[in-house]
Chain A
Amino acid sequence: MRRLRIRLMLALLLVTALAGAGCGSDDNDSSSSKGGGDLVVSAAASLKTALTSYGEGFTQAKAQFSFAASDELAAQIRKGAKPDVFASANTKLPNELFAEKLVERPTVFASNRLVLAVPANSDKVRSLEDVAGDNVSVAIGAPAVPIGSYTRTVLAKLDAGTRKGILANVKTEEPDVAGISAKLQQGAADAGFLYFTDVEATNGKLKTIELPASLQPQVAYGVAIVKGTPKREAAQAFVDGLLKGAGAEALREAGFKPPPQ
């Protein structure tokens, strides 16, 4: 009798501990695809609007998204997370993961463009030159995030005076586009560099100042199926739909352009 009770007690302890461990790993590893029929898609934060609406109508599997900065998602995959699909705000990261044999051959599925974004109710900044002016607060992406690296590409093409002026006004290097957008919407920053689609997603809170074509970097989005996914077919259908079909439509709706030719 007493033995039994001890065993029960130990079993209970073990179950509690395991349940605890399970919860912990769920949090960090929401992109791992154990159990359930969900198709797990790790996608760049800037794809949120487009992919969420595509996912709602996707029938082959229930699409479950993990939106974050592309470099964070790639780091998770390198650390052993196994989503089924990885959609990045550049082609560099999927290509790197392909070279490391972590994902299948990537496909370019959309393009975007970089714009100068300013709060809709502010006239403080009307041109790229204004961004270098006195008392202007600028929000950009951290160097490791695609938006931050594209921004630095644009800045490198400017004349030295404007570039230095803008860099001196940079007050924050945000870890993802959501951070830049929030600082602009709240009026904390006067100007920031964002994707055109991010400005569209704010429903008029922000407005766009177009960059000259000569400054525009090629912003191409790459997608790849993660190697060893048990849901290969659904993953392929998801990627195909991004190129042609409901996914492509959702992307156009959100302001993305077809992949560069």
Chain B
Amino acid sequence: MRARWFAGALFGALALALTFLTLPVVAILVEESPGALVGSLDDPGVLDALWLSLRATLTAVVIIVVVGTPAAYLLATRRFRGRELVITLVELPLVMPPAVAGVALLAALGREGLIGGAIEDAGLRLVFETAGVVVALTFVAAPFYVRGAQVAFASVDRSWLEASRTLGCGEARTFLRIAIPAAAPGLLAGLALAWGRALGEFGATLIFAGSFRGRTQTAPLAIYERLGTDFTAALALSAVLVSVSAALLLSIKLLSGRWAFDAVH
């Protein structure tokens, strides 16, 4: 009896959470007829925005993985003074409002920012350029991956790593051949979160990089621009963005589930 009411309560809570979290997503898809949604995607501005979102988030994710993976490995496997501080600093963008991230990036890398002048002298333009979008996305999304990767590396059995070294593999080979495959499901989960966050980024991109079709106007910015004039187009673009994000999350979930299965068997 006791077990039954508790199970009921758990079920009820999940049902409530599910309803609350999916209702707005459903509303995006059913508010307009599918025909109207598809029709409003015909706008070249919409396609430009989606294409830019795809390119910019992919670039950001590659940068995040290449730099973030070894950094997270170090944080997970070494103890050193100030480690907690370093971890806090790396995770800080997680709790930063996007507007703060945008203002901070302008203050650091803008033309009159801390090192913005030096960057411009080196011939690199960020503000109002696609490169600036990538910078904003990387800044906001990187902590999601690094945090996930750090946890994944930390839960790899240390004896595997030691065995690998004992058997004559160097540090680098142990990292590449043992640590990364063992941590792969966690790394992928972190990657999915970071990618999703980057796809949805709005505030930091607008404040730091601006909004210009084909160059800095990502899908969320295009949605915002259409809100006032063409709500149907805003809905259509939202529907595409939600579908892409859902497909991304789901495929990585399936992939990492399979990976974990293979690792066991």
Interface membership of A259, Cβ < 8 A: no
> Would you call B211 and A10 a contact (CB within 8 A)?
no
Question: Of A5, A69, A179, A183, which contacts B228 at CB under 8 A?
Answer: A69
Instruction: Flag if A171 contacts B210 (CB, 8 Å).
Output: yes
A188 and B111 contact, Cβ closer than 8 Å, known pairs A13-B12, A179-B206, A182-B207: yes
Contact B128 A171 (CB under 8 A): yes
Cβ-neighbour of A186 out of B112, B206, B211, B225 (below 8 A): B112
Asked if B175 is an interface residue, CB under 8 A from chain A, the answer is no
Which of A52-60, A138-146, A233-241 touches B?
A138-146
Contact B224 A139 (CB under 8 A): no
| Complex interface: chain B residues within 8 A of A170 (CB) | 212
B1-9, B162-170, B188-196: which lies at the interface: B1-9
Within 8 A of A (CB), among B184-233: 206-207, 210-213, 216-217, 224-229, 231
Contact of B112 among A16, A182, A187 (CB under 8 A): A187
Contact with A along B86-122 (1 / 0, CB 8 A): 0000000000000000000011001111000000000
Interface residues contributed by chain B, number (CB under 8 Å): 32
Q: Decide yes or no whether B16 CB sits under 8 A from chain A.
A: yes
Tell whether A245 is near chain B: CB-to-CB under 8 Å: no
B127 at the interface (CB under 8 A from A): yes
Alpha-carbon distance between A139 and B216 when the two chains are bound, in angstroms: 13
Q: Is A99 an interface residue (CB 8 A)?
A: no
Q: Smallest distance from the beta carbon of B207 to chain A beta carbons, Å? A: 7
Cβ-defined contact, A172 with B5, below 8 A: no
Residue of A at shortest CB range from B112?
A187
Residue numbers in B under 8 Å from A17 (CB-CB):
16, 20
* Cα of A115 to Cα of B59 in the assembled complex, Å: 39
Whether B244 sits at the interface, judged by CB under 8 Å, is: no
Chain B residue contacts of A74, Cβ below 8 A: 228
For chain A, which range describes its interface: under 10, 10 to 19, 20 to 34, or 35 or more residues? Answer: 35 or more
Q: A142-B211, A186-B110, A187-B110 are in contact. Are A2 and B5 (CB under 8 A)?
A: yes
Most buried by B among A16, A79, A173: A173
Residues of B close to A6: CB separation below 8 A: 5, 8-9
In the complex the two chains form, is B212's CB within 8 Å of A10's CB?
Answer: no
Given that A10-B12, A72-B227, A187-B111 are known contacts, is A173 also in contact with B212, CB under 8 Å in the complex?
yes
- Which B residues are CB-close (under 8 A) to A75? 227-229, 231
CB-based contact A175/B128 at 8 Å: no
Task: Answer yes or no: B124 CB below 8 A from chain A CBs.
Answer: no
Q: Which single member of B13, B106, B111, B211 contacts A175 (CB below 8 Å)?
A: B211
B151 CB to nearest chain A CB (Å): 28
* Cα distance A145–B228 in the bound complex, in angstroms: 8
A9 within 8 A of partner (CB): yes
Chain B nearest CB from A16 CB (Å) reads 8
Which residue of B is nearest A10, CB measured? Answer: B12
A90 at interface by CB-CB < 8 Å: no
Binding site for A on B (CB under 8 A): 1-2, 5, 8-9, 12-13, 16, 20, 106-107, 110-113, 127-128, 206-207, 210-213, 216-217, 224-229, 231
In the A-B complex, list the 10 residue pairs whose CB atoms are closest, starting with the nearest: A172-B210, A71-B228, A171-B128, A187-B112, A144-B229, A188-B127, A144-B228, A17-B16, A187-B111, A75-B228
Query: Which A residues contact B (CB, under 8 angstroms)?
Result: 2, 5-6, 9-10, 13, 16-17, 20-21, 69, 71-72, 74-75, 78-79, 137, 139, 142, 144-145, 170-175, 179, 182-183, 186-189
| A–B complex contacts, Cβ < 8 Å, 29 sampled | A2-B2, A2-B5, A9-B5, A10-B9, A10-B12, A13-B9, A13-B13, A69-B228, A72-B228, A74-B228, A79-B231, A144-B225, A144-B226, A144-B229, A145-B228, A172-B128, A173-B212, A173-B213, A174-B206, A175-B206, A175-B211, A175-B225, A179-B210, A183-B210, A186-B113, A188-B106, A188-B110, A188-B111, A188-B128
